[in-house]
Amino acid sequence: MNTNVDNNQSTEKVAMVGTPCQIMAASLMDDYSNELGESAIDIKIGLFCMENFSYSYLKELLKKYDMDLKDVVECRVEKGRMWFYLTENRLFDISLDEAKSCMRKSCQICMDFTSEGSDISVGSVGSPEGWSTVIVRSEKGMELLEKAEAAKYIKTKAISESGIKLMERLALKKKKENVAEIKKREDMARPVLYWRTMPQNEYLEEISASQFADLKGDVIDIGACVLCGACLLTCPENIVEINDRKPQIKGTCPEGCNACYMACPRTYVPDTISNRDTEKSPFGDYVKIVSAQASMFQGQDGGVATALLSYAVTSKMVDEALVVDKSTSEPWKPEAKLTGNVEEIVKASGTKYSACPIFKPLKELESK
Ligand SMILES: Cc1cc2nc3c(=O)[nH]c(=O)nc-3n(C[C@H](O)[C@H](O)[C@H](O)COP(=O)(O)OP(=O)(O)OC[C@H]3O[C@@H](n4cnc5c(N)ncnc54)[C@H](O)[C@@H]3O)c2cc1C
Ligand code: SF4
Ligand code: SF4
Ligand code: SF4
């Protein structure tokens, strides 16, 4: 058991936006704050996510077609194809099957389409073009939605029955396909630990002596790492580094510490976090589902993620927002940013279809 409870203490309140796997890591850090230190994340805005891609593989694939990511203005996955909107109104697309050759291995075992652990989830599926689908899951999520609507940051309308059916179909499709992959890996003696949910006390016992070497063997080396950076954030010794692809350590783990293993969303997960009743509840527990559109922001779909974050910061519900912007040095490479500036939140709108260690900027906040 990790005994360093001073780790990652923070008085700042942060609203984050992230993929379902990143939201799961945030939930673990929240639920185990006694062991991991108080988490700065106060509001979790989860995105829908069917799959994600390796940045370097995607770049290589596009090179085959003489395409350069620096010419891409917007990227969308829609109707079975990946669309690249280019400068000078050009359009290039590849089939999703071809793009899937660049899919991250960890996405093949992912069971969550709609960020089931978030306060409020946002996606495009289920709503008309230019609108987002919003699933409210907690009181905090409801407060954010209602206040943002009252302040005219967003408008909402009822979601159609066919929209709900489509979401249900896609969420179940992801779970069905990926549970088959989980079983395949388990049959090949490559256990998918996060699928082995267990009661809290058993979970704490099971992971009590697990350190970075176990994380490497159980998650990183077998293609289950989602590159979220929760291991880096929670390490009290500051010895975890993520320089591009994989977490590594530079140093030795002291006896008794298991923080990285506990915060990782791809090691064992307690049954309080993971929803196994997939047939009954394909997108987890929720209070309300609506279609929504931002009144003053443009985004990937309805601009709702940007509007909710901007409202949360402007109204001082939180101090800062954790967003994923594009790197300034490599086109379309995602880069996490912590900011209290609405212009920067707006600049980070739009989907970047690859992964980045989203929690890294919180480490810098901690050291401030
Ligand atoms: C990898 C990925 C796959 C997705 N797949 C689907 C899907 O299959 N079906 C579906 O309905 N929706 C999917 N989405 C969600 C969709 O693309 C939109 O993000 C969502 O509908 C919100 O739209 P918006 O206009 O409200 O967001 P915007 O206002 O444009 O804001 C988008 C927010 O997403 C954040 N963001 C961008 N890229 C990333 C990233 N790589 N990781 C974490 N955060 C990021 C930004 O910080 C920004 O705040 C996916 C998103 C991602 C990141
Ligand atoms: S593991 Fe992949 S598919 Fe699952 S939420 Fe993360 S990025 Fe999306
Ligand atoms: S890398 Fe070692 S010291 Fe750091 S959190 Fe993991 S077990 Fe603890
Ligand atoms: S090993 Fe680290 S970066 Fe990878 S999923 Fe686990 S916590 Fe996230």
Digit-coded pLDDT (tens) for 9-24: 558 999 999 999 999 9
- How far does residue 253's CA lie from ligand 3's centre (Å)? 5
Tokens representing 322 are 């954790």
The answer to whether position 30 is within a domain reads yes
- How far does residue 353's CA lie from ligand 2's centre (Å)? 10
pLDDT band per the 50, 70, 90 thresholds, residue 245: confident
User: What is residue 5's predicted lDDT score, i.e. its pLDDT?
Assistant: 40
The residue whose CB lies within 8 Å of the most ligand 2 atoms, and thus the one to mutate among 16, 107, 352, is 107
8 pLDDT above the threshold of 50 = no
Instruction: Determine the Cα angle at 304 with ends 300 and 310, to 5°.
Output: 110
Total domains present in the chain: 1
The answer to whether position 108 is within a domain reads yes
230 lines ligand 3 (CB under 6 A): no
Q: What is the pTM of this model?
A: 0.96
Q: Whose CA is nearest to atom 4 of ligand 4?
A: 225
Do the beta carbons of residue 332 and residue 67 sit within 8 Å? Answer: no
The answer to whether position 245 is within a domain reads yes
What count of Cα atoms within 13 Å lies in the side-chain half-sphere of residue 312?
32
The answer to whether position 47 is within a domain reads yes
167 lines ligand 4 (CB under 6 A): no
What count of Cα atoms within 13 Å lies in the side-chain half-sphere of residue 109?
24
Among 127, 244, 174, 235, which residue's Cα sits nearest to residue 20? 174
Q: Whose CA is nearest to atom 5 of ligand 1?
A: 49
Overall average pLDDT of the 211-222 stretch: 97
Phi (first) and psi of residue 307, to 5 degrees: -65, -45
Range of the structural domain that residue 233 is part of = 14-52+104-367
2 pLDDT above the threshold of 50 = no
54 lines ligand 1 (CB under 6 A): no
Tokens representing 141 are 């999520």
Tokens representing 225 are 């790492």
Do the beta carbons of residue 304 and residue 285 sit within 8 Å? Answer: no
Query: pLDDT tens digits for 257-293?
Result: 999 999 999 999 998 887 666 666 799 999 999 999 9
Q: What is the CA radius of gyration of the chain?
A: 20
The answer to whether position 327 is within a domain reads yes
Q: Report CA 358 to chain centroid distance, whole Å.
A: 8
The answer to whether position 76 is within a domain reads no
Do the beta carbons of residue 51 and residue 107 sit within 8 Å? Answer: yes
User: What is residue 365's predicted lDDT score, i.e. its pLDDT?
Assistant: 80
**Percent of the chain predicted with pLDDT > 70:** 95
Do the beta carbons of residue 253 and residue 237 sit within 8 Å? Answer: yes
The answer to whether position 57 is within a domain reads no
Query: pLDDT tens digits for 67-125?
Result: 889 999 999 999 899 999 998 889 999 999 999 999 999 999 999 999 999 999 999 99
Among 156, 137, 132, which residue's Cα sits nearest to residue 48? 132
Give the Cβ contact number of residue 73 at 10 Å.
12
Overall average pLDDT of the 202-218 stretch: 96
Query: pLDDT tens digits for 35-60?
Result: 999 999 999 999 999 999 999 999 99
Give the Cβ contact number of residue 108 at 10 Å.
19
Instruction: Tell me the β-bridge partners of 16.
Output: 44, 322
The answer to whether position 77 is within a domain reads no
Q: Which residues have a Cβ under 8 Å from the Cβ of 197 and sit 6 or more positions away?
A: 268, 269, 270, 271, 273, 274, 276
Q: DSSP H helical segments within 151-245, as ranges?
A: 161-187, 200-206, 212-215, 230-234
